[in-house]
Amino acid sequence: MLANTKDILIDAQKGKYGVAAFNVYSLETVQAAIKVAEQENQPVIIALGERYFPTVDVEGFSAMVRAMAEKASVPISLHLDHAYEKQSIIRAIRCGFSSVMFDGSAYDIEKNMRLTKEIVEIAHMAGVSVEAEIGSLAKGAFSDEEEGDGTLTDPETAKKFVEETGVDFLAAAIGTVHGMYKGEPKIDMDLLKRIRQVVDIPLVLHGGSGTPEEKIRQAIELGIGKINVNTEVSMAAVSHLQKYFKNKEIAHLSSVMEDMQLSIEPVMTKFVKLFSGK
Ligand code: 13P
């Protein structure tokens, strides 16, 4: 069923499990995410990044995802990931996204707070929930996210930020990276614990790819409800396609796409199972 991201995350918080937010870029990636969610009987968040707006028919995409979600046997929501522009957020709200992320993490905290508050006011009028970020993630390997400076979230700033902005979910930077880790992951669980002590809204972990399973389990235990996954899914598809084309010189696009979807489903399943605690 088509669900609201906030409801999905409040349920996750109560049940102490995590929900995957899969970045998608095509029909096949959406189909895979919904199929895996149904197979595992878990909710899933379909996330489209603002960076794809120039090439994606956002209104058409939203209509398609929402129609597919309505038929699903589990809660599925549609989320706008990493949006920097107010216009993109308004566009997403207008065409039915249930939650949006305003990423003001590159600004100083006062400006991030002011702009986030403005977005929260607009989004809440439309019944849409808002994710924000303070601190930022560094960029690892194979990611197509923007470069970040890798600044950890300060708990007291997080508390003030949540109180002042009225934001619904907070992305906490605790040392995960966007993409695959270039060295040993340095994830600060004690920092997460301290953030959770002062912030009671659902917390979001960006940079799910490559993060050790044990760290993910601990993070969920400490209050992470939404975990974003992008790079590992993309890598599975790309490496599969490379092998595919080595073995087949001539292929029809329809079977290439079908095969690509099959190659990402096991990766999504791994994450959904892990997050659900199964
Ligand atoms: P990964 O690419 O590391 O999975 O991170 C995805 C993400 O955080 C999207 O916002």
Give, using CA atoms, the residue closest to atom 5 of ligand 1. Answer: 207
Per residue of the chain (278 residues), give pLDDT as tens: 999 999 999 999 999 999 999 999 999 999 999 999 999 999 999 999 999 999 999 999 999 999 999 999 999 999 999 999 999 999 999 999 999 999 999 999 999 999 999 999 999 999 999 999 999 898 889 888 877 778 999 999 999 999 999 999 999 999 999 999 999 999 999 999 999 999 999 999 999 999 999 999 999 999 999 999 999 999 999 999 998 888 877 789 999 999 999 999 999 999 999 999 97
Q: What is the pLDDT of residue 147?
A: 75
CATH architecture of 5-276: Alpha-Beta Barrel (3.20)
Q: Check if 263 has its Cβ closer than 6 Å to any atom of ligand 1.
A: no
- Residue 226: CB within 6 Å of ligand 1? no
pLDDT of residue 246: 86
Q: Give 109-162 as a DSSP string.
A: HHHHHHHHHHHHHHHHHTT-EEEEEES-PEE-BT--SPP---PPPPHHHHHHHH
Quick one: pLDDT at residue 44? Answer: 98
Asked if residue 162 lies in contact with residue 201, where contact means CB atoms within 8 angstroms, the answer is: yes
Which residues touch 86 (CB under 8 Å, ≥6 apart)?
Answer: 115, 118, 119, 122
State yes or no: is 11 an active-site residue.
no
- Cα(37) to centroid(ligand 1), Å: 18
> What confidence score (pLDDT) does residue 198 get?
98
Q: What local confidence, expressed as pLDDT, does residue 16 receive? A: 94
Residues of 234-268 as b/e, b for ≥16 C-beta within 10 angstroms?
bbbbeeebeebeeeeeeeeeeeeeebbbebbbebb
Contacts of 127 (CB under 8 A, 6+ apart): 4
206 CA closest ligand 1 atom index? 8
Q: From ligand 1's centre to the CA of 2, what distance in Å?
A: 23
Structure tokens at 60: 């058409």
Tell me the C-alpha to C-alpha distance, in Å, between residue 239 and each of 85, 243, 256: 33, 6, 13
Q: pTM for this structure?
A: 0.96
* Residue in 115, 122, 120, 105 with CA at minimum distance from that of residue 157: 105
Q: Is 139 in the pocket of ligand 1 (CB under 6 A)?
A: no
Q: What is the pLDDT of residue 244?
A: 87
